[in-house]
Structure 1
Amino acid sequence: MAFRWCAWKKTAAGLAFAGAMSISGLTAVPAANAEEPEWHHATALTGTPKYGPEVTHFDYVDPDAPKGGTVRLASSGGFDTFNILAQKGHAAPGILTVYESLMEPSLDEEDISAQYGVLAEAVRFPDDFSWVEYRMNPDARWHDGEPVTAEDVVWSFEKAIELDPRRKFYYQNVSSVEIVGDRTIRFTFDTSGNRELPKIMGQLTVLPKHWWNGTDDKGRARDISRASLEPPLGSGPYKIKEFSPNRQVIYTRVEDYWGKNLPIRAGTHNFDEIRYISFLDDAVRFEAFKGDQYDYHVERSSSQWAKRYDFPATRDGRVVKEIFPDNSSGVMQGFFLNLRREKFQNPDIRQALNYAYDFETTNEIVSANLLKRVNSYFAGTELASSGLPEGKELEILEEVRDMVPPEVFTEEYQNPVGGNPQNVRANLREAVKLFRKAGYELKDRKMIDPKTGEQFTIEFLYTDKGRERTLLPYAKNLESIGIKPVLRLIDVSQYVNRVRSRDFDTVVLAVGQSLSPGNEQREYWGSESADNPSSANYAGIKNPAIDKLIDKVIFAEDRETLVAATHALDRVLLWNHYVVPQFYSDETRTARWNRFAHPEKMPEYGTGFPDIWWYDEELAAKTGAAK
């Protein structure tokens, strides 16, 4: 159930209510009369939610954490709208702190898909998952004091699918939504047996219908379909205090926030202000961090982590480096090849491009050997396939045997290994063989299509000049086998437009995966999404075997089947060579100006920053006031 698009990503939270819940595989325990399903305070895909209705706070927070202070964060690319449904423009960083969803996850459960109510005080659904009902918390309020209503939920859903094609696709199984009681909303589905659908609806971000149907301070009617820089009305723990488009937005904590005394909010949202400062260039952003222009930096460059943190503030302790394990998600990061281009439709060509990529040398020279090679679409998790298929996974794959590469059954997928001249030369020879198998010829040191006489060319789109550290060695290898690489550095807006319009050969993308995959797999790899310009199927994959395996994941009845089906899906994706896999890290590397503290027991999944951290006056006094 990994929904990773930026405007939808939510932080962890939960809520305790009357009425215990005991479910297995997200199956609600029926009421005593076996007529209606019971109401519950939480859901879990497998097993039982960790926190019962009597809980006062999550284990990974300090319920007595002090309130106050400011934290300054950095963002990239600027912003020009606060409207999360607008299809044009870039939404402001942190905008979701203004809003609430029906339910949210915690950060420390064995079943990472467990959700607890926020705007909804309770949830119920039948054994066949054909519908779900949410009962609204009567205390939920917008910042203007008006109640958050069932009508707001229905309106938010209808506007989401009306205005956003990706949300419409994601919610495609919802056949109707209706108010069935004073505070109760029912979503009815066009299918049964999909245990994830009730949880998907809990992710819905709720917007204020009365505000959007009103007028602004100049008497103009608001239009939710258009980008807007009018600070929106929300129901969350923060609201916008001030802003400068494309430069900075400041959120201030809502003192009379309706949910501040809920058990799920204990020890969270401790900062009086959260500031997001926008930078257009990563190099400038890092220099700004060194100069104390913002407080907390997540370092995604292993090379920079290894080589660029020896500056005065780290040496004297004013800046603290801390590494947190990343157990919360998997990832496929790589060169996504656009199958809509005829030259990439042959899997031999796609595999040859992987043989030309020398990860090991790049990792050593550029990244100080701090990265791992991506070997799965779910790299870093138990969902990554390995070895040869057996047991339940093999049973699932047998159903698509005639539709998948035979290697799926006979060979463990392995990326080519470089790292020394002998291996690299052998890999490049194999790449040339694959190109020849696909009908190309190496003439005058150029890889030529004999039908057209044209040299094979591949254009790499990117927005950050720092990417050239890894692109240039790859380009050199491609040139050595007659391929013409074109490195195209463009601005963010042009990049977004070209990716959206599918006008690219290859781009480096990272598709994140949760530990409970489900319906979003259709969005990433399903045939139906391939021709949708708003989808996340960037490669343009259309493969009926993959469609069948995605359904196996979605309709898995228990964790064992879910894992087996995901292994099968992963294996078939890998053997089709849609992506040249790059690298990943299973840890989060952070640096911060030493003004902040966190609970002694940290969550298993994520750093919880800034939600469960707080401003430490004593540390700040030693470090010095922020600039």
Structure 2
Amino acid sequence: MRRRHLLASGLVLASSGLALAARAQGSAPAAPATPAAPAAPVAGEMRRTHALSLLGEPGLPADFPHWPWVNPNAPKGGEMVLAAIGSFDSLNPFILRGTAAGAVVRIYDTLLAPSMDEASTEYAHLAASIEVPADRRGVTFVLHDKARWHDGKPVTADDVVWTFNALREKGRPFYRAYWGDVAEVVADGPKRAVFRFSTDQNRELGLILGQMPVLPKHFWEGKDFAQPGLEVPLGSGPYKVERFEAGRSIVLKRVPDYWGRDLPTMKGTNNLDTLRYEYFRDATVAFQAFKAGQVEFRQENIAKDWATAYDFPAVRQGQVKRDEIRHELPTGMQGFAMNTRRPLFQDRRVREALGLMFDFEWMNANLFYGSYTRTSSYFSNSELAATGLPSEGELLILSAFRGRVPEELFTSEFRVPVSDGQNSNREAARKALGLLKDAGWTVKDRRLVNEQNQPFAFEILLDSPTFERVALPYVQSLQRLGIEARVRTVDAAQYQKRTDEFDFDMTVDLIPQSLSPGNEQRDFWSSEKAKEPGSRNLIGVSDPVVDALVELVVNAPDRQALIDRCRALDRVLLWSYYVVPHWHSRVFRAAWWDKFGRPERNPRYGLDLMSWWVEPARDRALPADRKTMAQ
């Protein structure tokens, strides 16, 4: 629901890796090695490869011709018009200042390209090959000789080194956490970028670095990278910025002589000549623009609209198509997040009480047409989610923290509250009042107050009116306890600023997860990031136990250890009641004007819109003035 940080610009690709050592508490025992993992090379050996994977050998050979799901003969040409919500005043999506146009990331190449069909696997892209030393304390990316910037100059290892240092020193706080175990990066010749690590335990770090978009050093020399601006940046990728109108639209044009057009990671993709992003102040206006044909593709995230709002002439006449595209992505956690920097939310009993008053069953039936599943894990829809009682492997980890974590997590299965769907929640309300009373709150004159007669009052901050229909019923439920909650909706720029500065009581937080969580967990949960403006630790989690568990995840030696450690972290977070969990869906809801062709199947772990193409005959068959179709 939230469009923050690199999530908004598409920079956070599926993460990979992970975990060892709560060193302050002693190391947790290592789990058995994953059988599929290749044998470790002998000392001194350097392994050269075309791909990196955390789950054994990559699924595709070095000479694979193209991604398995794409149409390598897809025609090039045409335009796709997409909607963006909010505004933009910058073309630099890598820094904290300004509101960037997220589409700009498409002008850059990354060192490796993730496969949307495999978990935690990335293939050579801007890098022609990858070298991994036997001790796992580094990675070397050997760049393609043909790699060129759009001005014709070669992409070099110096560009990689400059990019890494610029992003870590002046980019968003995310990078400093994500790349925290990189000791140094050097250019070993014009095409070899060598990264050296401070540890041999961070198994995903090579894949993380492969996700890095490489920026041109010569373009940025003499400029202040930390300042937002609207100068069109230089890239090396399949698109370049053709034109823009600040805050209103941005147009990307396919680069016909793109250096990487014949790479196996590129064939059959980036088929559209033009990508045009039109900006709208809110989702309601954006939907009307789609109905009018001013926007041509839409991914629907409102269940009510999907069920009721698509009965308009263009749909009935077959001009607009719809589909529910299944995926196998972990769905992470979305919920009402409490800012624990506020004294009001620092008592775990208070946070549990607030969660009891959220009536998902009523909302799902009356607002969402029964289309959602309640989220009960920070790693939902994956094998990493904690279920039942802790396993033997989890207990080995959690026992080291006994006395510093809720005792219930050892003896009880975590369950989200379940109501009868009648929106009364009487039993939950009684339990919530008991918890609040234990925490020092009592009801006086229908108001919940503390010993100083201060009311229990807070604000739910939103960035779109769309979510008010969820927040307002929740506010009404809280009022039954005497809690004075109110909803405030602000524009995207103000929301970004306030959340970057942690200036909120409660908001909707989306914490995404991959099949192999790792370094990004530091930005979500670490005590250090709780103090750093712009980090993704919105909740303000600052707990030495969580810090230790995060490091265990980051340094997991094998898959089973990763599973056990993620589940242990999940239990501690769940029993801390930091969020009021929402829901998730296991399909992409997509609607589009019928001018596009698409591959016969979608990849397992993403919606690869860039493998679609325009069918000229279908495009010509659409009405010249589509606005009449919405009437």
Question: Structure 1-normalised TM-score?
Answer: 0.93
Amino acid at match of 1:541: V
> Aligned partners of 1:77 and 1:515: how far apart in 2?
30
Residue 53 of structure 1 and its aligned partner are, at CA, apart by 1.0
SS in 1 for 2:389: coil
Amino acid at match of 1:128: D
Query: Which residue matches 1:618?
Result: 617
Amino acid at match of 1:263: P
Match of 1:189 among 197, 212, 216: 197
> Aligned partners of 2:456 and 2:601: how far apart in 1?
54
Distance change >3 Å, CA 135–CA 25, structure 1 → 2: farther
Q: Determine which structure has greater relative contact order: mean sequence separation of CA pairs < 8 Å that are 6+ residues apart, divided by chain length.
A: 2
> Aligned partners of 2:79 and 2:576: how far apart in 1?
49
Residue 188 of structure 1 and its aligned partner are, at CA, apart by 1.2
Match of 2:93 among 76, 84, 89: 84
SS in 2 for 1:242: strand
- Does 1:174 pair with 2:174? no
Residue 391 of structure 1 and its aligned partner are, at CA, apart by 2.4
> Aligned partners of 2:37 and 2:217: how far apart in 1?
31
Amino acid at match of 2:524: Y
Residue 623 of structure 1 and its aligned partner are, at CA, apart by 2.8
Query: Which residue matches 2:575?
Result: 575
SS in 2 for 1:288: helix
Number of aligned residue pairs? 602
SS in 2 for 1:524: helix
Answer yes or no: is the 8 Å Cα contact 1:323–1:590 preserved in 2: yes
> Aligned partners of 1:422 and 1:522: how far apart in 2?
38
> Aligned partners of 2:259 and 2:138: how far apart in 1?
29
- Does 1:208 pair with 2:209? no
Residue 285 of structure 1 and its aligned partner are, at CA, apart by 0.6
Query: Which residue matches 1:397?
Result: 398
Amino acid at match of 1:45: L
Answer yes or no: is the 8 Å Cα contact 1:384–1:567 preserved in 2: yes
Query: Which residue matches 2:331?
Result: 330
Match of 1:46 among 52, 55, 60: 55
Answer yes or no: is the 8 Å Cα contact 2:345–2:351 preserved in 1: yes
Query: Which residue matches 1:159?
Result: 166
Q: Could you report, residue by residue, the CA deviation over 1:236-271 in whole angstroms, capped at 9, with x for unpaired residues?
A: 001111111111111111011000011111101101
Deviates more, 1:145-154 or 1:416-425: 416-425
Distance change >3 Å, CA 513–CA 133, structure 1 → 2: same
Distance change >3 Å, CA 24–CA 10, structure 1 → 2: farther
Match of 1:135 among 121, 142, 162: 142
Deviates more, 1:223-232 or 1:40-49: 223-232
Q: Could you report, residue by residue, the CA deviation over 1:434-471 in whole angstroms, capped at 9, with x for unpaired residues?
A: 00010111111111101x11110121111222212111
- Does 1:491 pair with 2:500? no
Query: Which residue matches 2:347?
Result: 346
Distance change >3 Å, CA 25–CA 249, structure 1 → 2: farther
Residue 399 of structure 1 and its aligned partner are, at CA, apart by 2.1
> Aligned partners of 1:394 and 1:169: how far apart in 2?
28
Residue 234 of structure 1 and its aligned partner are, at CA, apart by 0.7
Amino acid at match of 2:566: T
Query: Which residue matches 1:37?
Result: 46
Query: Which residue matches 2:120?
Result: 113
Answer yes or no: is the 8 Å Cα contact 2:357–2:478 preserved in 1: yes
Answer yes or no: is the 8 Å Cα contact 2:110–2:214 preserved in 1: yes
Alignment of 1:247-326 (within 5 A): 247-326=248-327
Query: Which residue matches 1:16?
Result: none
Distance change >3 Å, CA 304–CA 326, structure 1 → 2: same
Deviates more, 1:292-301 or 1:203-212: 203-212
Alignment of 1:8-47 (within 5 A): 9=11, 30=41, 34-47=43-56
> Aligned partners of 1:574 and 1:181: how far apart in 2?
49
SS in 2 for 1:469: helix
> Aligned partners of 1:488 and 1:149: how far apart in 2?
48
Answer yes or no: is the 8 Å Cα contact 2:113–2:125 preserved in 1: yes
- Does 1:427 pair with 2:428? yes
Q: Could you report, residue by residue, the CA deviation over 1:519-543 in whole angstroms, capped at 9, with x for unpaired residues?
A: 1111101122111112110010011
SS in 1 for 2:556: coil
Residue 93 of structure 1 and its aligned partner are, at CA, apart by 2.9
Residue 27 of structure 1 and its aligned partner are, at CA, apart by 6.3
> Aligned partners of 1:42 and 1:529: how far apart in 2?
31
> Aligned partners of 1:27 and 1:626: how far apart in 2?
58
Query: Which residue matches 1:476?
Result: 476
SS in 2 for 1:513: coil
> Aligned partners of 1:57 and 1:420: how far apart in 2?
49
- Does 1:5 pair with 2:7? yes
Distance change >3 Å, CA 375–CA 52, structure 1 → 2: same
Query: Which residue matches 2:31?
Result: none
> Aligned partners of 2:220 and 2:6: how far apart in 1?
26
Deviates more, 1:172-181 or 1:570-579: 172-181
> Aligned partners of 1:107 and 1:622: how far apart in 2?
32
Query: Which residue matches 2:28?
Result: none
Structure 1 unaligned spans of 5+: 13-22, 214-220
Alignment of 1:592-611 (within 5 A): 592-609=592-609, 611=610
**RMSD of aligned C-alpha atoms?**
1.8
Amino acid at match of 1:505: D
Query: Which residue matches 2:590?
Result: 590
> Aligned partners of 1:10 and 1:531: how far apart in 2?
22
Answer yes or no: is the 8 Å Cα contact 2:177–2:522 preserved in 1: no
Question: Structure 2-normalised TM-score?
Answer: 0.92
Answer yes or no: is the 8 Å Cα contact 2:362–2:421 preserved in 1: yes
Amino acid at match of 1:461: L
Deviates more, 1:493-502 or 1:311-320: 493-502
> Aligned partners of 1:493 and 1:160: how far apart in 2?
22
Amino acid at match of 2:546: I
Query: Which residue matches 1:523?
Result: 523
> Aligned partners of 2:607 and 2:265: how far apart in 1?
17
Amino acid at match of 2:164: F
Query: Which residue matches 2:156?
Result: 149
Residue 4 of structure 1 and its aligned partner are, at CA, apart by 5.4
Residue 619 of structure 1 and its aligned partner are, at CA, apart by 2.2
Q: Could you report, residue by residue, the CA deviation over 1:415-444 in whole angstroms, capped at 9, with x for unpaired residues?
A: 111234497111011110000010111111
**How many percent identity over aligned positions?**
40
Amino acid at match of 1:198: G
> Aligned partners of 1:585 and 1:293: how far apart in 2?
27
> Aligned partners of 2:612 and 2:546: how far apart in 1?
42
Amino acid at match of 1:344: F
Distance change >3 Å, CA 381–CA 82, structure 1 → 2: same
> Aligned partners of 1:11 and 1:235: how far apart in 2?
19
> Aligned partners of 2:193 and 2:252: how far apart in 1?
31
Query: Which residue matches 2:20?
Result: none
Distance change >3 Å, CA 124–CA 29, structure 1 → 2: farther
Answer yes or no: is the 8 Å Cα contact 1:28–1:37 preserved in 2: no
Distance change >3 Å, CA 476–CA 181, structure 1 → 2: same
Q: Could you report, residue by residue, the CA deviation over 1:25-69 in whole angstroms, capped at 9, with x for unpaired residues?
A: 7768537xx523121110100111111111111110111111111
Residue 372 of structure 1 and its aligned partner are, at CA, apart by 1.3
Distance change >3 Å, CA 314–CA 8, structure 1 → 2: closer
Structure 1 stretches of at least 4 aligned residues deviating more than 6 Å after TM superposition? 23-28
